[in-house]
Chains A and B, each alone.
Chain A
Amino acid sequence: MSLHVANGRWVVWLSLLVAMLFQIMPLPELVEAWRPDWLLLVIIYWAMALPHRYNILTAWMLGVMLDILLGAPLGIRAFAMSVVVYVVVLHFQRLRNFPMWQQALLVATQVALYNLIIFWVQFVTDTANFDISLFYPAFSSLIMWPWLFWILRRVRRLYKVR
């Protein structure tokens, strides 16, 4: 059962770290609202590829880290990420076998759900104004997903991540 031994863990964590940096990197004001949710996309990829290793609790931990980095109330992104990754882990078989465009659409829906949950928790606990720009990241994620998927799959095969 040597295949059950984890391999290339550092690759996964490195990709998550890079995604985290992309998530907090400065962007021109014009495109700031369109920033894809990089961290969520990468964790969705790993949850889809290796659901038995990277799943809800990984997402939760990354969510807490992102909350701290963004200065948001602790737990908001942790909550949203674990819910979204739960949905992905539940349907990982189906998601994997969808054609790329359908997969991208579903991932974009997940990103929209993620942003909606964040808005909702923010609205309930603190205060927030609803703005349509909330859904911009879903659009940009839709466009970025096929490329990201392709890159991460190459990385996964290259380093034999299991």
Chain B
Amino acid sequence: MKPIFVRGISNQFRLTLAVIMSVILLVANDRLEPVRNSLSSLLSPLQYIANIPGVILDESAESLATRNMLARQNKELLRQQLLMSERLQRFEHLRQENDRLRGLLGSPVHMDAKKVVAEVMEVASDPFHQYVVLNRGSRSSVYVGQPVVDAQGVVGQVVQVSELTSRVLLLSDISHGIPVRITRNDVRMMAVGTGSIDELELRHVAKSTDVRAGDLLVTSGLGKRFPEGYPVARVMTVKKDDGKNYATVIAQPLAALDRIRYLLLIWPDIAADAAELITPAGVEEALNAIKESAQ
């Protein structure tokens, strides 16, 4: 027969044990980071399995795309590529000029940082924070605190790294702050997440500060975590309420945080491989190739 009474240690004892262990884990959370990372490496196959349905959906959508759609998409991409290459050429000129001027001033020359493309894995995360999981981990030498950007602007930073995956805290998370400056007049501020995906708040902005709706905010490079000059957000509203000590400034992140797919991981301290660098000659070549194929 089945035992009606639970033998061995009592339930109360088990519960006490579980509660004590939970409290220990909660208190020692920060110190357990290495343990957590190795356990999360062990569990990451689960995340890869959970990601499969999404991948299958994506692939079937791709294979079901009609020839017309692909042709249209291809055309659009070519057009964009052309515009980008032209801008890149101008940019290359400016960069050289900038390097020369910096050389004259005796300041260090900016270098191209190493970048790696990562894909967002579609798995559920802690509902109380805004995380995304990337398919790159310590094996691709991702590190905690690493800046993450997409085509539009800064997305956030890496907060946990396991062997094959990493977790990125988004800009808009309530616990995230990023030092920014206004491009128009170099005023420095802190942009703090509000918990809502398309809103950042600029904290402690004096009412006399020159800030207007439409101002572009870029990373200021202070704090040494995010490299300088990446676009972050655009100021949406500025309210100067007499009853409050500071102005209420709301900005909108440039990266569409709710539908990010491919992201760039940046290593600010490591120079890009020579092979990855884009040279003016290479740009010209690509431009010509595009022009020819477009005709």
Residues of A bordering B, CB below 8 Å: 3-4, 17, 20-21, 23-27, 29, 32-33, 35, 51-52, 55-57, 59-60, 63-65, 68-76, 78-79, 82-83, 86, 89-90, 93, 119, 121-122, 125-129
Contacts and interface: CB of A to CB of B under 8 A. Distances in A.
29 contacts: A3-B2, A21-B50, A23-B124, A24-B123, A24-B124, A26-B50, A26-B124, A32-B124, A56-B14, A56-B15, A57-B14, A57-B17, A57-B18, A60-B22, A65-B43, A70-B126, A71-B167, A75-B23, A75-B29, A78-B22, A79-B22, A82-B14, A82-B18, A83-B19, A86-B11, A86-B14, A89-B6, A126-B175, A127-B174
A64 B21 CA distance: 10
Interface stretch (B32-40, B89-97, B209-217): B32-40
A67 B47 CA distance: 13
Contacts of B50: 21, 24-26
| Top-8 shortest CB links A-B | A75-B25, A26-B122, A82-B18, A79-B22, A72-B126, A56-B14, A75-B22, A60-B18
A26 B51 contact: yes
Interface residues of B, number: 48
A136 to B, nearest CB: 11
Given A27-B124, A65-B43, A74-B32, A21 B131 contact: no
Contact of A71 (B11, B22, B129): B129
A68 B36 contact: yes
Contacts of B220: none
Contacts of B40: 68-69
Contacts of A121: 26
A26 B21 contact: no
B53 interface: yes
Contacts of B1: 3
A93 B5 CA distance: 11
A78 B46 contact: no
Interface of B: 1-4, 6-7, 11, 14-15, 17-19, 21-26, 29, 32, 36, 39-40, 43, 46-47, 49-51, 53-54, 122-129, 131, 133, 159-160, 167, 174-175, 195, 258
A97 to B, nearest CB: 13
* Binding site secondary structure of chain A: helix
B3 A64 contact: no
Given A23-B124, A68-B39, A71-B126, A78 B131 contact: no
A99 B7 CA distance: 28
Given A52-B7, A79-B19, A71 B125 contact: yes
Interface centre among A20, A75, A126, A128, by most chain B C-beta atoms within 10 angstroms, is A75
Nearest to A137: B127
A76 B175 CA distance: 18
A74 B124 contact: no
Contacts of A83: 15, 19
Given A26-B123, A56-B17, A69-B40, 5 more contacts: A24-B46, A68-B43, A69-B47, A72-B126, A86-B11
Nearest to B55: A26
B266 to A, nearest CB: 21
Contact of B18 (A56, A72, A127): A56
B287 to A, nearest CB: 39
A13 to B, nearest CB: 13
A73 B15 contact: no
A134 B21 CA distance: 25
B123 A25 contact: yes
Contact of B15 (A63, A82, A129): A82
Nearest to A76: B26
A134 B233 CA distance: 30
A52 B14 CA distance: 12
Contacts of B131: 71
Interface centre among B17, B32, B127, by most chain A C-beta atoms within 10 angstroms, is B127
